[in-house]
Structures are given as C-alpha cells and as structure tokens.
Amino acid sequence: MSLWSRARSARWRVGLVAASAAALLVSGVTVAVSAQAAAGCRVAYSTSAQWPGGFTANVGITNLGDPVSGWRLVWTFPSGQRVTQAWNASVTSSGSQVTATNAGHNGTIATNATVSFGFNGSWTGTNTAPTSFTLNGVACTGDVGGTPGTRPPTSAPPSTRPPTTPPPAGNAMAAVAAMQPGWNLGNSFDAVGTDETAWGNPRVTQALLDNVRAQGFNSIRIPVTWSNHHGAAPNYTIDAAWLNRIREVVGWALDDGFYVMINIHHDSWQWINTMPTDRANVLNRYNALWTQIAAAFRDASPRLTFESVNEPQFTGSSGDAQNAELLHELNASFHRIVRQSGGGNATRLLVLPTLHTSADQARVDELVGTFDTLNDPNLIATVHFYGYWPFSVNVAGGTRFDATVQQDLTGVFDRVHDAFVSRGIPVIIGEYGLLGFDRHTGTVQQGEKLKFFEYLGYYARNRRITTQLWDNGQHFGRTSFRWSDPELFAQIRSSWTTRSGTASSDQVYVPRTGAISGKSLTLNLNGGTFQGLRHGNTELANGADYTVSGTTLTLTAAAVTRLVGSRAYGVNANIQARFSQGVPWRISIISYDPPVLANTTGPTGSFAIPTQFRGDQLATMEAKYADGSNAGPHNWTSFKEFDVAFAPNYDANSITLKPEFFAEVNDGQRVTLTFHFWSGTTVTYHVTESGGNVTGTTS
C-alpha cells in the first residue's frame, strides 16, 4: 500500500532463528496392547524453528513392536514450555505435562511404521527439549518387550509421493508461525514511477536488510509494482533490469535468513481494477506477469512466498457477487500458473487475499470458498489491518484506544482465526499500522498509540496470526538504521512475546500556578503485577511518593511538587511505571496553563491561528455552524480529521486550518471551533470565510 492508496481506503520479521533441525532421538518401549503383545517405539523430537518466545517442533513416533491401534504420547517439558497449536494430533496440557493423542487418520501404527505430528509452542528462559516419552502408558526406551536392543531402531520408510505433491497439511502453519514477526519494505519497489526511488526512499541496500534482520524480524514483505516495468501486449515482457534487481534484493533477504514475500502490488488499482469491463486483457496481462515471475523464482528457497495481488479491487462491477467471482478467477489463475511452473513452485507457499484485504465476514467467506475449491495445504490467507478508522486517522472524536477500538481489533482477528486458523490454514496480516501514519506518527497521541500496538501484538499471538508491520520509511530509517520512535518500536517488539502494563494515560497535567494536589491514573496490568515507579535511576517510595489501591495509582502531592520543579511549561519529568513483564510505561509530568488563541486574518490556502499552547497539546477540533449543524469535511461528525482539516504547529505557535477544511465550509457562514486539549481544557474560536479570505476571532 502507498501513501496515496491507503488514504483512499481504511484497510491492513529478527529473521528466522534457525534452530537445529537435527532430531533428538529418544528410544523407548511402549505399553503393550495386550498382555502378550510385543511393544516398543522410538521418538524423534526436533525443533525446526525458534524465535523470541516461540518455536515449532515436530515429533515422529516409530512403532518397533506389534501394531498399535490408537495412541497417546505423554512427555514433560523440562523448561516449562507450552504447546499453543498442534496439527495431526490432539494436544492437551496440565502444567508442563503434555498429552498428544492421534488424529483420526493416523491412529494405527504398523510395525516399523512411523507417524508424526507437529506443534507450535511458547518458551521463556530456555527451550530445552524433552528426553522422556511414554506411549500408551509405558516409558519409551528403544527396546521391545523390555529387552534393550532386541529390535534395532528403524527410520521412517521413504515417501512414495511424487516430488510435485505438496507436503502434508500442517507445514504451512509451522512456516507461517516461523515468519512472525514481519516487516514491509514499503514505498520502494511498489513505488509508481521510474524506479525504487520514485517515492522518495533511497535505493535498497544489503546493509538495510541486515539491519532490519537485526531488529528481530523473521520475514520481509517486498511489495512490487510491475506496471511501469514491462512491455506491451501480448507478451508483457518484464524489463530484464527490473526483474534482476528484484531477484538481487530477494537474494539478499534470503541470505539473511528471512522468509520473503513478493507480490503484484499497486497494479491492483492501476489496471487490474478494470477487470469488470476489460476481463480478457486484464487476465492475459496478469497471467503473463505471473508466468514470468514464477519462472524467474522457480528454484528459489522455499522461504520465498508469492502473494497473488495486493488489496484487490474492481471498478464498475455489478456488485459483491461479481467482485468475488473476479477475485476467485485471479487467485485460481495465479495458483495454476505457479504450480504448473514446477520446481520449488510446485509446493511453494502461496498467499491469497480477500477483496480489499478486508476482514469483513462476507469477504472472508468468499476467500474460504476459494480455499475449499483449490484444496491445497500450502496456501496462506491474508488480510490487512489498520485499526478502527476513527481512531486510526483521529477523526470523529476517536482520540483514545477505548473499548470500541479494541472490539474492532478482536472482531477482525477472531473472524480470520475462526475461518482459517481453526481449520489449520495460516493467516498473515500482510500490513498493519495506523492510517494516520501516512502523514506522520503524531496523528495519534503517543500513549493511546502504544496501547493499540501492545494489544495488537498480544491478540495476534492469542489468535496465532503472523503480522507484518507496514513501514514506508516513516519507522525505520533506510540509511540511518534507527527507529524514528524508539518507544513505539520497543512496545511493538515486546508485544511479540509478552504483554506490557499500561495506564489510562501517559500524561499527568499540573496547573502552572496554584496549589498542587495528588494525581491518579488507572493501571492496566494486562496479566502482570505492578512493581514500582522510577524517576531516572531513583526508585520512588511507596507511601511517600505514591500509593496503589487496586488498579489506581496515585502520585502524592509532595511527589508531584518535586517532579514539576520550577513548573516551566511542558514536560518537567518523566517517570516509569514498571511491571512484572513487558516494557515500562512512561508517565510525563507536564506543567500547563489554558492555551490562548488570538484574532487573525488570512487566505484559505494558508490560514493559521496564533496560539500560545503554554505546555498543553491539541487532541482534536470540533466545527459547527451557528444552527448547531456540522461544518467542514466529514460533516457526519463535528470532530474533524487531525492533520487533514487542522494541525497544530508547536514550534511556530500556531494551529493551521487547512485548505481541505475551507473547501467544504459555506462561504459567509460563521463557524464555531472548539479545540480540545489533552489537559482537558477546551477553547472556543470562530472563523468566517468570505471569497477566499478568512477572519478568525476569539469572540
């Protein structure tokens, strides 16, 4: 998604830690099926992938004794690990003890035969492999009938499947789990223009990918727009230099250990969207591109995945039914072309989106139908997530991460989990973030933003969904290799493995004059416990500096007085609330007076209200006509969109009313503006536009 395309619709990693895949062989004896039955087994336990806080394991059971009908394997994790998801077995846990029972299709194990299952798990501290197993109640020691060595270990028979047959179901789930967390190389190869620098980002370097890898990301999505880089019909030959450049960067990423995803990106709204009225030409062009891309990467590492199309959309269709039919045709054609190209593409993981990559139930149901039709275990579903729209762009009063925003998030993740993950089909949130980030990350207030990302990371883990952060250059510096907002990234990174405590706000406002009183915040423990407050290297004293009653944290008047010091406007101190898990929660102690606005005049193209913010910060703005009706854009709400209709400029001591605001204000009608500040202060102001000029008054 680009800056431009995301503004049009509200929609939605340290590389794979390569754990040793060598199996830990544990020999053992199984319980006899009857008093006379010979019993024995060997268990091969291997960790095939590991990442911070999570891992994927495979378990193979080889029966060395008489045939077994129905099995139950039990072991105890030595380091307190937990199974979070399993395939080809039903797995339950009691503390550190795990019990795996057969699925319907693998309950019978003939003599010398092997069955296997896999699971994803969580770990903290260490991830020590279990060494003791029991099968059907008897310890496994590699013997038959209790006599060591009476039957030699036997490996699983070689597969008789042809090489083009996809691997057993479950591998896709494990691979996608290993892709968590992920990052997008946005606004580079997806840029619409002559090359990867067309939208202002520098050329991609190997050093950039190395540094992204070092941040903790296991997968990288590399969006690619092809429309300006291929020839005319009927062959649509991709420019050799462009294709080679994509191959070079994909190669760097694979060498770094990333899982890599490439796609057809902004072509979706440039020409694929015309499919309702130009079906044959669009399909021919689409097929020609994927035929060439598939051939170019036919023998690439299986860690390379293909995504059929980014945010598919159609213009001029007859409605939902035709949209669903056209997208199914694209996805099915993509699937056929890639699979028939052979080589590694015969089993390569393929990513299929919903219409608009929306998680609305109807769109999800449509994609479920495509998955059922294709019946391929190596498919991944994808949607995008940019949050509840009013919060995501800060409009309609959506300034806080409240219950509505949270419920929107859980609804999206629950729908894709129930439709896909619960059936063993992996899901990737191919892009996530906040839409307001298209302008700058300050569109949404810092503390509310941190709470959003903390919860998103937690709930994605809860629903076993892999996420890929959208970054068009506004987060991780493409040449500095630094985060523009380290506090935000620390919260995101922490959310990959644990929860962090937060509070009702990250700001405590203290009037610059007058008596100072104690200040209270509500703690959101998020499964942890409160550990204390720290100012710099100094621990604050429970009782003297603060008190805690339930989830209410109160800073005493004495502590607030000390922290605000001379009471200069703005942030006078930052303290940290520490919890038993996750990252600390910063609380800024701020001195303020009510902001003061001044009368002014100016043209609609550059109208700015002189403003003394006096330590306060602007949250949102309302606009109404004298009769109480809503003024300006988004006239279904009185609250205007932050940084689109208005924007504070703290350095210039002004609030700008943008041309987009006046473009939808009635000429000659007085508009009453109500500015809401984070201290809780509101300030009223009036503007009247007449013939392109604006008069602003405080009364």
Which pairs from 546-551 meet CB under 8 Å and 24+ separation?
Answer: 548/523, 551/522, 551/523, 551/524, 551/525
Closest CA to 486 of 496, 495, 476: 476
Could you tell me if 59 and 73 are in contact, meaning their C-beta atoms sit under 8 angstroms apart?
A: yes
Could you tell me if 694 and 662 are in contact, meaning their C-beta atoms sit under 8 angstroms apart?
A: yes
Identified catalytic residue from 311, 448, 454, 641? 311
Tokens (6 digits) for 219: 């997968």
- The alpha carbon of 159 is separated from its chain's Cα centroid by a whole number of angstroms, namely 37
Identified catalytic residue from 431, 622, 641, 689? 431
Buried b (16+ CB within 10 A) or exposed e, 199-222: bebeebeeebbebbbebbbbbbbb
Strands 182-184 and 466-469: parallel
DSSP for 460-508, please give it.
HHHTT-EEEE--SSSSB-TTT--BS-HHHHHHHHHHTT----EES-SEE
Query: Could you give the CA distance from residue 601 to residue 111 in angstroms, rounded to a whole number?
Result: 90
- Edge to edge, the sheet with strand 600-603 lists 600-603, 693-697, 682-690, 670-677, 618-625
Buried b (16+ CB within 10 A) or exposed e, 546-563: beeeeeebbbbeebbebb
Closest CA to 501 of 581, 392, 568, 421: 581
Tell me the C-alpha to C-alpha distance, in Å, between residue 421 and each of 460, 464, 542, 605: 12, 7, 46, 50
Query: 């929306």: which residue's tokens?
Result: 358
Phi, psi of 647 (to 5 degrees): -160, 135
Tell me the C-alpha to C-alpha distance, in Å, between residue 569 and each of 12, 441, 520, 609, 675: 38, 23, 21, 20, 19
Query: Could you give the CA distance from residue 661 to residue 633 in angstroms, rounded to a whole number?
Result: 6
Could you tell me if 633 and 641 are in contact, meaning their C-beta atoms sit under 8 angstroms apart?
A: yes
Tokens (6 digits) for 24: 């830990």
Could you tell me if 144 and 64 are in contact, meaning their C-beta atoms sit under 8 angstroms apart?
A: yes
- Taking every pair of Cα atoms in the chain, the longest distance, rounded to a whole number of angstroms, is 101
Tokens (6 digits) for 189: 């190869």
Beta bridge partner(s), residue 122: 54, 82
Q: Active-site residue 196, yes or no?
A: no
Query: Could you give the CA distance from residue 601 to residue 604 in angstroms, rounded to a whole number?
Result: 10
**Cis before 486 (ω within 30):** no
Closest CA to 66 of 108, 104, 105: 108
Tokens (6 digits) for 457: 């990371």
Return the amino acid letter for 254.
L
Q: Active-site residue 622, yes or no?
A: no
Closest CA to 362 of 331, 329, 324, 388: 324
Return the amino acid letter for 333.
S
Residues written for the chain: 699
Query: 């068009």: which residue's tokens?
Result: 472
Which residues are tagged catalytic?
311, 431
